[in-house]
Amino acid sequence: MYKNKFNSLIILIPAFNELKNFQKQLILLKKKYNILVVDDGSSDGTERFLQKSKINYIRNKKNLGYEESLKKGLIYLTKKKKFRFILTMDADCQHKNFYIEKMYDYMRKNDFDLVAGSRYKKNRNLEKIISGVSNLKFKIKDPLSGFKIYKKDKIKQINLRKLRYFFLVDLTIFFIKKNFKVSNYDILTNKRKDNPRVGNFLKSNLKLIKILIYLIFK
Check residue 17 and report its DSSP letter. Answer: S
Nearest 5°: the CA angle 74, 155, 103 is: 85
| Beta strand spans in 120-206 (E) | 148-151, 182-187
Per residue in 66-104, pLDDT (tens digit) is 999 999 999 999 999 999 999 999 999 999 999 999 999
- As a whole number, mean pLDDT of residues 95-124 equals 96
With a cut of 90, say whether residue 115 has pLDDT above it.
yes
Q: Which backbone phi and psi does 22 adopt, to 5 degrees?
A: -110, 0
- The CATH fold assigned to 2-217 is Spore Coat Polysaccharide Biosynthesis Protein SpsA; Chain A (3.90.550)
Question: What's the pLDDT score for residue 1?
Answer: 46
- As a whole number, mean pLDDT of residues 126-134 equals 97
CA-to-CA separations, 175 to 77, 138, 208, in angstroms, rounded: 18, 11, 20
Provide the whole-model pTM: 0.94
Per residue in 166-218, pLDDT (tens digit) is 999 999 999 999 999 999 999 999 986 666 555 566 889 999 999 999 999 99
